[in-house]
Amino acid sequence: MDPFMAYADEPRRLWRGWRRAEEMGAAWHREAADAQVPAARPAGPPLPWWTHAHDARPQRPVRAGTDLDGGPLYVGRAWHQSQLLPAKVAPKHQGAFVAWKGREHSKFFMQFEVLHLLRGRAEWIEASDGDIPAQAFPVGITSSGRQAFAARASVQGVVTPGRIVEGDNCCYVPYGHKEWAFENYEVLAIL
């Protein structure tokens, strides 16, 4: 069986940088990139998330679409600027991508997770204008505490996963180095 993603070199731990004493109230401090905080979860069974590790492969990744090059796109999530955001996982590009502030941001190796189902089934439910179906299950959380859900929309003929956040009136999708906004979209439900 081929690996889900493969890398030529051993990945290295990424660091955001150094902070000065004035910023931290102490001596110099090396800060890890996007420190992780657990996301809020509603009542119900937790969703299984898979973090890429060498030749391992998720059992049943949730497919969200097909890339322009014919490669599959899966539902994922990644930390970006202290937020756990739904992501587009593209194995052919060896990474995941999140939409944020008008851009598509890439995440590689251990910086993202892929949703895989051990039981149940994934269903995409049509929605629009900020509506989030009752069957939708949150997969992330913003820095302000709003829940984020996996969504998808068609960008230039390519069905691409992205996010819908409580209180927003559209779905945001990463594609072609940009963040795209759509008032009509589909939201992921696990049944």
Query: What is the extent of the structural domain holding 169?
Result: 58-190
pLDDT score recorded for residue 26: 36
pTM recorded for the entire structure? 0.74
In a domain, 42, yes or no: no
Rounded CA-CA distance 78/2 in Å is 24
In a domain, 76, yes or no: yes
* Residue 16 pLDDT grade (very low, low, confident, very high; cuts 50, 70, 90): very low
Vertex 51 angle, CA 63 and 92, to 5°:
50
In a domain, 37, yes or no: no
Calculate the CA 31 to chain-centre distance: 22
Would the pLDDT of 9 be above 60? no
Contact 185, 152 (CB under 8 A): yes
Q: What is the pLDDT of residues 30-47, one digit of tens each?
A: 334 444 444 443 444 566
The whole-number average pLDDT for the span 63-71 is 93
pLDDT score recorded for residue 52: 64
The whole-number average pLDDT for the span 120-131 is 95
Alpha-helical (H) ranges within the chain are 21-24
pLDDT score recorded for residue 50: 79
Strand partners of residue 15: 32
The whole-number average pLDDT for the span 96-105 is 94
Stated length of the chain: 191
In a domain, 32, yes or no: no
In a domain, 53, yes or no: no
Contact 130, 91 (CB under 8 A): no
pLDDT score recorded for residue 39: 42
The whole-number average pLDDT for the span 26-30 is 36
In a domain, 185, yes or no: yes
Domains: count for the chain: 1
